[in-house]
Amino acid sequence: MCLIRWGRALDIVFEGARIRAGGFEVLADATLPGGQITALIGPSGAGKSTLLAAIAGFAPLAAGGLLVGGQNMAGLPPAQRPVSLVFQDHNLFEHLSIAANTALGLSADPRSKTTEARDKVAAALGRVGLADKAQSMPGELSGGQRSRAALARALLRDRPVFLLDEPFAALGPGLRHAMLDLVAEISAERRLTTLLVTHQPDDAVRIAQMTALVAQGKLHAPQSTQALFSNPPDALSDYLGK
Amino acid sequence: MAGRAGALAGWAALAAVGLVCLAPLLALLAQPGNWPGAYGWSVLRFTLMQAALSALISVALAVPLAGALVHRQFRGKATAIALLGAPFLLPVVVAIFGLLAVWGRSGWVSDLLGTPIDIYGLKGILLVHVFFNLPLATRLVLQGWAMVPPEQLRLGAQLGMGWRGQWQVFGAPILRATLPGAFLVVFLFCITSFAAALILGGGPKATTVELAIYQALRLEFDLGAAARLALVQLALCLAVGLIALRLVRPVQFGAGLALQPIALPRPKMLVWLDWMILVLAAGFIGLPILAIALRGLVGLGDMPASILPALARSIGVALGSGLLATMAALALAGLITRLRQGLARGVELGVMLALAASPFVLGTGLFILFNPILDPSDVALPLTALVNAVLILPLLLRLFMPALAQIKADYGRLAQMCGLAGFAQFRFVTLPLLARPLGLGMGLAVALSMGDLGVITLFASPDAGTLPMVMHRLMGSYQTAAAAGAGLVLVTATLGLFYVFDKMGARLGHRI
Amino acid sequence: MNNRLTLAAALVIATGAASADTPELVVYTYDSFAAEWGPGPAIKASFEAECACTLTFVPAGDGAEVLSRLRLEGARSDADVVVGLDSSLIPQANDAGLFAPHGQDMAGLTLPISWDDATYLPFDWGYLAFVFDQTRLANPPASLEELARGDVSVIIQDPRSSTPGLGLVLWAKAVFGDEAHQFWDAFADQIVTVTPGWSEAYGLFLEGEAEMVLSYTTSPAYHIIAEGDDTKAAARFAEGHYMQIELAAQLAGSDQPALAAAFLAHLISPAVQDIIPTSNWMYPAAQSAALPDGFVAAPDEALLMPTDWVAANRDLAIDEWLAALAR
């Protein structure tokens, strides 16, 4: 098993892909540009989470192909893909401390023995504003704090593709905006390809350069957020309620 | 769950179960003998009937009892729930004398009513079986409740859900998930009932298959007939098992393996009913145990000195057996959760059938298999631990599987993404999260192994033996008081061990 | 169920004994015989003192289970002697064909009936009887017939799994012959329950679950001598009492025939016979000393049917019992 060298700003390319999950199907034949933040919006059940799952390696492709940074992802287990995924829930192991959970971003051993590892964990937690919660258990944290811990872990993982599945849904506007800005900052700093699934169009407007609509079982080609919202197609208008 | 090594361990455990259960049976089947005739069939009918009735009643009563326990809060609730395991772990003869002290012709109830009540007959058998299995069934249903995520319970409380809504959202799904399995477990345990059915059965009308097998083996030395009878019984249990497991609808709840102290709204009348049920249950389960304690205390002074070494030996064997059973059950549960639906069901059913294996057939068959090769007393010890482990396995499986499925559903993806696979995943994710059911399972396995499962009496070694043996010997020599004392020591040790492991699991486990 | 420690200890002792070149005599017996409060330890001590050998008791369950184990082991059995076969099981024991003639002198036996079986040697015996509590039952029945006619509650054992139970159906058959089914029909409704073995039945009786229990005439002796309790008594029946004789036999495949024969002789010697009453609670088969107080005088008539009668009537007797009780 050799370490795959990734790069930065990797494109995510779906080639005639069909992903089946839980009784319905999502079609994807589009390119999500590298080095940018792309928001995925659309009605519930359209398949946004399924697309993320496919990229991360949890949902196999029934047909077609998936390339990340030009490399075919077929057959690669999730741990070996250049992807970090922040789930909707169960982002943290309830029985491990925040520090241990975060340390999993460095290695598959939650016990961070080396000082170097501990420093990195502390730094990541500090970045998301959880420096004082390192030894707390996830059960003691609020929803927002848990999302931030997941973010800290993603930071440590340092994978070129960053997937977020409605990670800040439970947060109030102030905190959510702060977290989104942090995501944007990290994304820009490391030239990550970030996909953000969200139900808040404002989130897309705030940080996403591109937005892709997922509706009617299909991933539409991404467009620049501004362009999409100023001239929304029918499906998007329906979704936005305009 | 734990990679290739884990799957291999699972298959190995399955092979061991199959071998231990089937090889002795086949050894006996090889002997010439008759298939059961009219008498055999009538015995089979009775056995199935009493087992089905016992299971139905136990499970039916478990539902309101579990409901009462879930909805009412009181001090010592956790201990009470832990002690729900107690009756099941009592040695049968000890339990029967305890029940008779309460319900017998000279029992407390008779004294209270002024006239002797007669529980001998089918009602006596049902009484014993329900006493043993109602608490167990309740515990299994409670496990279902414990898997409801607290958020959902809070939501229900907040919405002021009426009893109808609660039934639809919580009650019915939980019961669909737990009752068929609970029914099957109780049914299979009652099938192999021997002493319980006989002592309280009142007469040969209440003959169970185990007695018929015992007679055939011991008195008539008709090994072939005994084996064929056991085979027919197994086949019938298989049929019942297939139906029962088909009815299981696994619940797609979120998380939670510990009981949450959430108060769902409950109409006043049901609250009163709850308290009444709790009091009645406490009396039904607690009084016989109290009687056992009282009888035993009287006889404590009469016990011979060989009690202590016998106790030590019993504990040693029990710990070994418990460990074996727990590890095997874990491996098997892990294996089954990875298999396809159909195959998984088949393997699960196959393991459950170990419960229906006749201890007498097993013991005799194993003896026949080993006798030509080794001196049976040389292998007596490891064989005892092995057979006990196999017989307890099905119960542990019922405990571990829902929990494992839950953990996989919740954390499977996260673990995969973090690269936690194979042994690392087992060690850092599965094991800690499984601590609670593991503790309970280990406690049950160790405790059940302390009591005499009656399999290996043929492998007796030339020495004092274990505590149940000493107790049995005392009873056989007029020393009933000393036997009661020994019984009390056995029961205390058994319950103590169970409590320790169960508590350990609760302490180390996480409310996930 | 067994244990590592014991096994290891036993192995150590066994190898130690082997290396010291003492021959070992293996005696299969039932559990309570070999227990520390039974006759086993004393017999072991007295025999080893004179034989320059090691005596090992192997407890193998109850009387019927011991025979069963011997049959399972077959010719490969380690056993040299078996102690505790029941007289009602002689037909089965003969079927097994495992035993050699004991060659002992039976003139010294003091059984109330004459014993001439060359293979099985009696070492103790008892009468089946219904035991009751005198404080609860003032007027016990004086015969089997009166017992069935009355309404005294009784606990008995299953003849299919217990030797006293089997003894009872044979007793009824011997007394009533073809009318035995009438006895059972009349008796059936008084039977509180039928237990698989003696110990459960007796325990239930002591708990007060019935007024009488099928046991032995020597049962009250235990209560009188060991507990100082004289409330228990055995009802005397006019038709006579069925005997239960406990037998010892030598295995044909034994590797220590001389030692086995010596042991059998020892079994009916005063050294053992004198301790039988208060360690096994039965009458000694070759009585030499006077019986302890508490062992009341034996009933007038002792019933014991010949082996071929037992073989011929056993199944019928059980069927009649079954027919009456399973209704």
* Total structural domains within chain B: 1
Q: What are phi and psi of A89, to 5 degrees?
A: -150, 180
Nearest to C57 by CA among C22, C93, C81, C76: C81
Give me the amino acid identity at C181: H
Q: Are residues C277 and C218 in the same domain?
A: no
**Taking 80 as the threshold, does the pLDDT of residue B464 lie above it?**
no
**Tell me: the pLDDT tens digits for C9-18?**
444 444 444 4
**Taking 70 as the threshold, does the pLDDT of residue B256 lie above it?**
no
Residues of A in Cβ contact (< 8 Å) with B416: 57-58, 77-79
CB contact under 8 A, B511 and A87: no
Number of residues that this document lists for chain A? 242
Q: What are phi and psi of A226, to 5 degrees?
A: -60, -50
H or E stretch at B44 = helix B38-71
C31 touches chain B (CB under 8 A): yes
Nearest to C70 by CA among C82, C87, C57: C82
**Taking 80 as the threshold, does the pLDDT of residue B54 lie above it?**
yes
**Tell me: the pLDDT tens digits for A140-158?**
888 888 888 999 999 888 8
DSSP code, position A80: G
DSSP code, position B428: I
Specify if C294 maps to a domain: no
- C61: nearest CA in chain B? B457
B414 CA: distance to closest CA in chain A (Å): 7
B184: tokens are 């099957």
**Tell me: the pLDDT tens digits for C120-157?**
999 998 899 999 999 999 999 999 999 999 999 999 99
**Tell me: the pLDDT tens digits for C277-303?**
888 888 888 888 888 877 766 677 888
C-alpha distances in Å from residue C165, one per residue of B418, C162, C242:
69, 5, 11
Domain boundaries, chain A: 12-82+159-240
- A105: nearest CA in chain B? B418
CB contact under 8 A, C196 and B312: no
CB contact under 8 A, B478 and C57: no
DSSP code, position C124: E
Give me the amino acid identity at A70: G
**Taking 90 as the threshold, does the pLDDT of residue A237 lie above it?**
no
Q: Are residues C109 and C174 in the same domain?
A: no
B410 touches chain A (CB under 8 A): yes
Residues of B in Cβ contact (< 8 Å) with A107: 419
CB contact under 8 A, B198 and C194: yes
CB contact under 8 A, B418 and A91: no
**Taking 90 as the threshold, does the pLDDT of residue A77 lie above it?**
no
Q: Which of A91, A93, A158 to mutate to test the interface with B (most CBs of B within 10 A)?
A: A93
- B417: nearest CA in chain A? A79
pLDDT classification of C33: cutoffs 50, 70, 90: confident
B29 CA: distance to closest CA in chain C (Å): 15
Percent of chain A with pLDDT over 70: 97
CATH number where B53 lies: 1.10.3720.10
Using CB atoms, which residue from B221, B456, B480 is nearest to C92?
A: B221
For residue A106, give every residue at least 6 positions away whose Cβ sits within 8 Å of its Cβ, in sequence order, or none: A112, A117, A120, A121, A156, A157
Encode burial over A105-123: b for 16+ CB neighbours within 10 A, e otherwise: bbbbbbebeeeebeebbbe
Residues of B in Cβ contact (< 8 Å) with A165: none
For residue B136, give every residue at least 6 positions away whose Cβ sits within 8 Å of its Cβ, in sequence order, or none: B58, B84, B85, B87, B88, B182, B185, B186
Per-residue model confidence (pLDDT) at position B216:
81
Q: What are phi and psi of A12, to 5 degrees?
A: -110, 120
Full domain range(s) for residue C143: 126-243+300-325
Cα angle for residues B271, B273, B277 (degrees, 5° grid): 120
Residues of A in Cβ contact (< 8 Å) with B417: 56, 78-79, 83-85
Residue B218 · residue C65 · CB < 8 Å: yes
Q: Are residues C321 and C211 in the same domain?
A: yes
Distance between first and last Cα of chain C: 38
Q: Are residues C119 and C190 in the same domain?
A: no
Indicate the average pLDDT of chain A.
Answer: 87
Chains C and B touch (3+ CB pairs under 8 A): yes
Q: A2, exposed or middle or buried, with CB in 10 Å at 0-12, 13-18, 19+?
A: exposed
Cα angle for residues C202, C204, C207 (degrees, 5° grid): 110
Q: What are phi and psi of B187, to 5 degrees?
A: -55, -50
Full domain range(s) for residue B501: 3-508
Give me the amino acid identity at B249: R
Specify if C291 maps to a domain: no
**Taking 90 as the threshold, does the pLDDT of residue C82 lie above it?**
yes
Q: B382, exposed or middle or buried, with CB in 10 Å at 0-12, 13-18, 19+?
A: middle
Q: Which long-range contacts (CB under 8 A, 24 or more apart) does B344-349 make?
A: B345/B245, B345/B246, B347/B14, B348/B245, B348/B397, B348/B401, B349/B238, B349/B241, B349/B242, B349/B245
**Tell me: the pLDDT tens digits for C199-219?**
889 999 998 999 999 999 889
Average pLDDT over residues B181-193: 84
Three-state SS for C280?
A: helix
Neighbours of chain B (3+ CB pairs under 8 A): A, C
Residue B89 · residue B444 · CB < 8 Å: yes
- C58: nearest CA in chain B? B462
B472 CA: distance to closest CA in chain C (Å): 8
Distance CA A145, CA A139 (A): 11
**Taking 70 as the threshold, does the pLDDT of residue A241 lie above it?**
yes
**Tell me: the pLDDT tens digits for B397-444?**
877 887 888 888 888 889 888 888 878 888 888 888 888 888 888 988
CB contact under 8 A, C7 and B375: no
Percent of chain B with pLDDT over 70: 92
Q: Which of B46, B105, B388, B456 to mutate to test the interface with C (most CBs of C within 10 A)?
A: B105
Among B380-389, C3-12, C96-105, where is mean pLDDT lowest?
Answer: C3-12
Q: What is the CATH number assigned to the segment(s) A12-82+159-240? A: 3.40.50.300
CATH number where C67 lies: 3.40.190.10
Residues of B in Cβ contact (< 8 Å) with C37: 304, 477, 479
Using CB atoms, which residue from C96, C161, C219 is nearest to B211?
A: C161
B271 CA: distance to closest CA in chain C (Å): 39
Residues of A in Cβ contact (< 8 Å) with B419: 79, 107-108
- C14: nearest CA in chain B? B462
Cα angle for residues C101, C107, C109 (degrees, 5° grid): 90
C189 CA: distance to closest CA in chain B (Å): 10
CB contact under 8 A, B511 and A139: yes
Q: What is the dihedral of CA A23, A24, A27, A32, to 10 degrees?
A: -90
| DSSP code per residue over B121-139 | SHHHHHHHHHHHHHHHHHH
C54 CA: distance to closest CA in chain B (Å): 13
B21 CA: distance to closest CA in chain A (Å): 38
